[in-house]
Structure 1
Amino acid sequence: MIELTVDAAGLARSRFAVSPLHEVVATLLPWGMHPAPDADPWVARARRVLRRAQLPLLSELALDAGGYVPDFLSPHPVEPSPGIEDELERVRRTPPERVLDELRALRDGRPRNGLAGCELPAGVRRSMARGGAHVARQAAEELRRYWELAFAPHWEAAKSTLDAEVDRCAGVLARQGAAALFNSLHPCIRWADGTLRVESRYRITLPVPLVVVVPSLVAPQPAVSVDPTRDGARPPMLVHPVRDRALADTLTPAAPTTETAQLLGPTRAALLAALARPTSTAQLAARHFLSPATVSYHLGVLHRAGLVTRTRSGRSVLYRRTPSGSRLARGR
């Protein structure tokens, strides 16, 4: 159980933030290895990117380490809606000793807090040997690549949903107060008698100056990022899963039916299934691990068959299924 003691002044200072980098790093946590059935649809896709792309440090931390992902990879948002580049720059500028401290915590554990240690993967050890500044730079570059491959094409729609959750919370706060707000976030989050309690396998009790609340489409359960070694100097970040999962229908491409795959071929069928919303060649290439030239060829065939439309948006050409293409993608 995590228990955070927050006085009235701390409640007044507490705030919400929507963080693109947090969504990226959340897929590195243990729940990303076996996503829950109702988890946001990009989790499984992101993990496939992580396994196939050349991201050695992130891959080892997520797939081979012990379940604790170092906090420096996901700095606490300092504004309500930070941009991805600003957050990546903060990762890059993490003090080297803090980077090494958190990797040592991954290795040695923190038994008092319920965090078990684990043997660090060989690649992580090699990066550490080159210093904390090197690890921070490598992490920032790999996080950028991961973001571009797995998240950037979907962020506009995802952010709209997360912003809507912040607006919902603001309404609860204005109408019912802070206690009702925290108790509305998730059944595993409870506020009573000046203490915020979050169910967790970790054991932490801390007085804190405020709480940064971050809604997430990726997290299937609440989580708290704290630093018990610094006496609450860095405010804890409370992550809660959003209630509205309607975005799943817009982000999850329909799986092509067997009949469609037999008719069009598996590659064209998968591309057609992914075109429920206007999408560029580059976005499709990244999602399906194809070259842009290959995607352009198949889209040309689908366009000539009247199954997709194409429109220009700035320098990009966006493709989308026609009604007949949608019926074919659904096997109707």
Structure 2
Amino acid sequence: MIRIELSAAAVARTRFAVSPLYQAMHLLFALGRQPRAVPCEWRVRARDVIGGRRLGLLAALAISSDGYTPDFLTPEPVAYRSAVEDELHLVATAPVERVRAEMGLVLSGLADLGIPARRPRALVLDALDGGEDGFAARVAGELGAFWAGVLGPHWPGLSARLEHDIARRGELTAGLGLGGMVAGLHPEVGWHDGTLSVRRPGRPDRRPGLRITGPGVIFVPGAFPPGLMLSFDPAAGRRTPVVVYPALGPEPDAGGRLGGSRSSILAELTRARTTADVAARVGLSPSTVSYHLQALHRGGLVRRTRQSREVYYQAVGDPAGRLR
């Protein structure tokens, strides 16, 4: 178990983020831990891209049934929504000493957490021989290729779903408080007396675990089972821990199709309509429809135009194609 102690100031800095890079790593993490839980379309797409683009180094580091995955592959999200290019740059320019220390943990494991040592494939060791800076840049390049081939084409639908989850978590926090919201993230996540606890799913252990002091916590909804993933600095707690939890709603399919309220809203936008018009048609409040329209607009699924005092929204392309 990992216990993250949070001061009042750290709680005030706790936030959510939608991270494209974390979704790529979350998918790779799921493929290593519970591949059969990942929808078939995503498994096939990931396999084809890894094989076709020769992403063996990334696969060797990130797809594992057990063992430590180096945390420099998942840098701290610096904004609520970050561009994947900016996140990949942080991976490519990870400090040499950090890469060296974390690859050492890959070889030695984390005894306090019951995480065993791993024996990297020869290609990993050969890549390390070229220097940690070049190693990080190469991994970042492969991670970028994985993102572009697997997740990039479907990011609008995926990100809309993740933002919807964050909106729901905000509602739960308003009604239950931070502790109540955290308790609903995952059965292995808890909150007690200013301490956030994260247990390895399905791995009961009597070890003392790790206790770190966090400058805050960043919660990131994840689109893929098994859901729970933690990224932190196991050496000194210098970075903000990131907890990836399973997003609410049905699992996405490989077409990034939308579900629920946003599907209904998008279906009404074959012609330009106002927020009030859409709300009347789908039976939702104008404020709820406005939230969904903003997310659809950010995701590039609808365009927005202003006529006098009215703002109109209309689907980009064929909305029916998004729903099939």
TM-score, normalised via structure 1 length: 0.70
CA distance in 2, matches of 1:159, 1:18: 7
Deviations 1:232-259 (A, max 9, x none): 221111110012116338548xxxxxxx
SS in 2 for 1:229: coil
CA contact (8 A) 1:29 1:67 kept: no
Between 99-108 and 45-54, the greater mean CA deviation after superposition:
45-54
CA distance in 1, matches of 2:162, 2:117: 34
Letter in 2 for 1:146: F
CA distance in 2, matches of 1:48, 1:236: 32
Letter in 2 for 1:213: F
CA distance in 1, matches of 2:16, 2:320: 37
CA distance in 1, matches of 2:78, 2:56: 28
TM-score, normalised via structure 2 length: 0.72
SS in 2 for 1:105: helix
Letter in 2 for 1:207: T
Letter in 2 for 1:183: A
Matches for 1:290-329 after TM superposition, within 5 Å: none
Larger Rg: 1
Rate the CA distance shift 1:242–1:88 in 2: closer, same or farther, 3 A: same
Match of residue 259 from structure 1: none
Residue 172 of structure 2 is aligned to residue 166 of structure 1:
no
Residue 217 of structure 2 is aligned to residue 211 of structure 1:
yes
Deviations 1:106-147 (A, max 9, x none): 012222332211222111111111101101110111111111
Residue 236 of structure 2 is aligned to residue 234 of structure 1:
no
Residue 75 of structure 2 is aligned to residue 70 of structure 1:
no
Rate the CA distance shift 1:73–1:151 in 2: closer, same or farther, 3 A: same
Deviations 1:56-84 (A, max 9, x none): 21122245795422111111101100010
For structure 1, the 5+ residue unaligned runs are: 253-317, 327-332
Match of residue 121 from structure 1: 121
Between 185-194 and 130-139, the greater mean CA deviation after superposition:
185-194
Match of residue 329 from structure 1: none
CA distance in 2, matches of 1:320, 1:182: 35
CA distance in 2, matches of 1:63, 1:185: 24
Rate the CA distance shift 1:128–1:41 in 2: closer, same or farther, 3 A: same
CA distance in 2, matches of 1:125, 1:8: 43
Larger relative contact order (C-alpha < 8 A, sep ≥ 6)?
A: 2
Moved beyond 4 Å, runs of 4+: 38-41, 63-66, 318-322
Deviations 1:207-249 (A, max 9, x none): 222111110002423222122311x221111110012116338
CA contact (8 A) 1:75 1:91 kept: yes
CA contact (8 A) 1:41 1:251 kept: no
2:227 to 221, 229, 241: 221
SS in 2 for 1:215: strand
Rate the CA distance shift 1:191–1:40 in 2: closer, same or farther, 3 A: farther
Letter in 2 for 1:173: T
Match of residue 266 from structure 1: none
Equivalent pairs: percent with the same residue? 33
Match of residue 137 from structure 2: 137
CA distance in 2, matches of 1:220, 1:152: 21
Letter in 2 for 1:9: A
CA distance in 1, matches of 2:234, 2:124: 24
CA distance in 1, matches of 2:254, 2:116: 38
SS in 2 for 1:220: coil
CA contact (8 A) 1:2 1:197 kept: yes
Match of residue 51 from structure 2: 51
- Count of residue correspondences: 261
RMSD over equivalenced CA pairs, Å: 3.0
CA contact (8 A) 2:223 2:251 kept: no
CA offset at residue 45 of structure 1?
2.7
SS in 1 for 2:116: coil
CA distance in 1, matches of 2:213, 2:171: 27
Deviations 1:149-199 (A, max 9, x none): 111111110000001111111222233321112112122222122221222
Match of residue 198 from structure 1: 198
SS in 1 for 2:157: helix
CA distance in 2, matches of 1:36, 1:4: 31
SS in 2 for 1:209: coil
